[in-house]
Structure 1
Amino acid sequence: MINVTVTGAGGFIGKNLVDRLQRMKGVSLKQYHHGDDLSLLHEYLNESDIIYHLAGVNRPQNSNAFASVNRGLTESIVNYLKKHHKTPKIIFTSSIQAEGNTPYGLSKKAAEEVLQNYRIETGADVCIYRLPGVFGKWCRPHYNSVVATFCHEISHDKEIEIHDADKKLDLVYIDDVIDSFIDCLDQKKQDKLLYNHINQTFQTTVGELAQKLYEIKNVRESLIIPDLSDKFTKYLYTTYLSYLEMDNLSYALPAHRDERGSLVELIKSQQAGQVFISTSRQGVIRGNHYHHTKVEKFCVIKGEARIKLRKIDSDNQLTYQVTGQNIEIVDIPPGYTHSIENITEEEIIVLFWANEIFDPENPDTISLDVQPNKTDEQKG
């Protein structure tokens, strides 16, 4: 059993770390929160094998709090450990601002020096992370994260202020930070370096960040999902959604209705095409067309249908009879005219995927009936 103490357990990084630690076997966790009595922390220190020292202030009302909290609490921890001959491993969250001369940066640098001296005097293992801007779920807006502030304001239809669109940003994602922190539990994975780094960082500008977030916001209108193969975009998308209010998690989609039934587009992607869904009434036949480049997948999720295909330069016809009771996908290759017919008395529901977004200026859809032919082979 590893005894772990987390200071600043209620903060942004602390909450994400605590969530992970609480789900791990073999970990006994103690949480020290802002406002807790120092005696409680001392009680936890007595039992600790590892201390994640995350507590600190970024924007206090009084600048003296930088020194009293960021350095002062670190000194209090170290002095207590030395007095009682304790040498737990300490993981400390510093900041890249420790390289500068701001009151915040100087206080973080001073805390680092306290821990360096503790390491030299006692031989204890100390690991310092000089983190750049951290973003992800549960980060507080209007505090110390431009990502959190932009996500909150944009998701609440508020204007954001950009003073320098070209200002460079170095960012790390919260899960990458937590992954690295969790590795600290395993001594075999650590080289016992004083300074450690998050392996994956992202570089952007304030203007680029805002542009990406507005594109994400616009998904509800355009239905176009951004390129989630780009990890930074994927993490921004995840982060943005975490700032939506609970009563704003759903949105209506326009339905195109006619005598046949309805069609609703669900998701579009420049990289992966689009997904849409249709309903068809009894006896309705959709399709009777082919594509040159576009390919599709048909999946009946309710009811029963007959899918017919014919290669346009052949008389041979192939029929698949499919049902929502036995989910399967039928691929529609290019150059095959195809149709789908509702053969039940009730409405059917069909899920479609196409490898490209429908372009009304270039639909790549040519009408051609799937005619009765010489050979009618049935599948399904």
Structure 2
Amino acid sequence: ATLCRDCGAVVHLAGVNRPQDTQEFVEGNEQFSKRLISALQQRTSPCPIVFSSSTQAALDNPYGNSKRAAEEVLRAYAAESGADVFIFRLPNVFGKWCRPEYNSVVATFCHHVAHGLPIRVDDAAHELSLVYVDDVVQAFLDALAGETVAQDDFCMVQPVYTCTVGRLAELVHSFRSCRETLAVPALGDDFTRKLYSTYLSYLPKNGMSYPLVSHADARGSFTEWLRTDGQGQVSVNISKPHIVKGGHYHHTKHEKFLVVAGTGVIRLRRVGSEMILRYEVSGDKLEVVEIPPGYTHDIENTGDTDMVTLMWADECFDPAHPDTYRMEV
């Protein structure tokens, strides 16, 4: 009662959705809302309420009936007191910290796949409507700030994503395989980006890291780190002191080199020209050197410690089509 008396707004998230006895729906949803309103009626002035209802409130089932009854309690308070009441009939909400094996197929799939457990798909074609938890929170804040999207007297969370259960399972499985393929998911797709963030939040506490395959010799090592679909790849190159690497050019492929530790020199010469371009590089002065197509190039460690270079190429390396031609600078 004290909190209700002094608060500036109420965000009503409380409810029951998986009881052992269906009577608990009434107690946890309708009756609790009545007790909340009773406490708010003791205030000297009304305060706004944001209520997380459910799309189930449009259906005739015990849970939906209890959520709809709670909506009616809040609407009656709004009519009586003049308070602003914002009712959100939420579809499936996904995001970090949702409990698996409860009422979220996204949470269950992400948890199981991240832990190497099997998942079950009963109806691959079943279509889900999904909203992301951060979008839900933002919609609540917007409503309290007087900026909300409404439809049929209900507030809306945007965007709403649609995805079949089969496609959801496919995406989540692909996230696990990213460690072997080094692939980055298609993060330009908003739903995939948020789903991947959700998946990562379910990684086991002892599974936050994974090894990479390094190709090493007396000159140092070369390790691919990330591969993308259409945005190239990132690798880490380590050169031993006074070692020269490279001595080749590409017809179409282009690269960016960034030395992050050690000192060295990057040399470039356009094929057919005798002019050599030299760029002194150092981890003490971060500077990107562009490697255009048609320029043979090499990189030399001029220091006495290992030189570490981050290398980005605009395409992932394909042994069948390497686009790499030997030529000394």
In the other structure, the counterpart of 1:117 is 76
Residues 260-312 of structure 1, C-alpha deviation per residue, up to 9 Å, x if partnerless?
Answer: 11111111101311111011112221111111111101111111111111111
Shift of 1:192: 8.8
Q: Counterpart of 1:321?
A: 280
Instruction: Report what 1:87 is aligned to.
Output: 46
Amino acid at match of 2:239: S
Which sections of structure 1, spanning at least 5 residues, go unmatched? Answer: 1-41, 371-380
What's the offset of the Cα at 1:107?
1.1
Residue 158 (structure 2) aligns with: 199
Tell me how far 1:86 sits from its aligned partner.
Answer: 4.8
Instruction: Using structure 1 for the length normalisation, give the TM-score.
Output: 0.83
Distance 1:135 1:289 in 2: 48
The residue aligned with 1:298 is: 257
Of 117, 129, 140, the match for 1:170: 129
Task: Name the SS for the 1:313 alignment partner.
Answer: coil
Residue identity opposite 1:260 in structure 2: R
CA distance in 2, matches of 1:306, 1:207: 52
Cα shift at 1:84: 5.4
- Cross-structure match for 1:220: 179
**Residues of 1 paired with 2:215 and 2:53: CA distance?**
55
The Cα of 1:68 is off from its aligned counterpart by 0.7
* SS of corresponding position for 2:39: helix
Q: Distance in 2 between matches of 1:191 and 1:219?
A: 37
- When residues 83 and 47 of structure 1 are mapped into structure 2, their CA distance, relative to the original with a 3 A threshold, is closer
1:335 aligns with 2:274: no
Return the alpha-carbon distance in structure 2 between the equivalents of residues 192 and 364 of structure 1: 55
Residue type of the alignment partner of 2:200: L
User: Hey, what's the Cα distance between the residues in 2 that align with 1:192 and 1:104?
Assistant: 23
Q: Which position in structure 2 is the counterpart of 1:373?
A: none
In the alignment, the residues of structure 1 paired with residue 46 and residue 280 of structure 2 have an alpha-carbon distance, to the nearest angstrom, of 70
Distance 1:321 1:86 in 2: 70
Q: Deviations over 1:150-201 (max 9, x none)?
A: 11111010000100001000001111111111123323x3589842101211
- The separation in 2 between residues aligned to 1:328 and 1:121, in whole angstroms, is 66
Change (3 A) 1:191 1:323: closer
Is the 1:127–1:192 Cα contact (8 Å) retained in structure 2?
no
Aligned-residue CA RMSD in angstroms? 1.6
* CA displacement at 1:48 relative to structure 2: 2.4
* Superposition misfits of 4+ residues, deviation over 4 angstroms: 83-86, 190-194
Letter in 1 for 2:166: G
Contact 1:46 1:86 (C-alpha < 8 Å) held by counterparts: no
Deviation at 1:83, TM superposition (A): 5.6
Alignment of 1:1-380 (within 5 A): 42-82=1-41, 86-187=45-146, 189-190=147-148, 194-370=153-329
Q: 1:110, CA displacement in angstroms?
A: 1.1
Query: Residue 225 of structure 1: SS of its match in structure 2?
Result: coil
Distance in structure 2 (CA, Å) of the matches to 1:353 and 1:272: 9
TM-score, normalisation: structure 2? 0.96
Contact 1:126–1:192 (Cα < 8 Å) also in 2? no
- Going from structure 1 to structure 2, the CA distance change for 1:103 and 1:256 (only over 3 Å counts) comes to same
Identity over aligned residues, as a percent?
45
Tell me, in whole angstroms, the C-alpha distance in 2 between the residues paired with 1:94 and 1:86: 24
Query: Which range moved further: 250-259 or 77-86?
Result: 77-86
**Stretches of structure 2 lacking an aligned partner (at least 5 in a row):** none
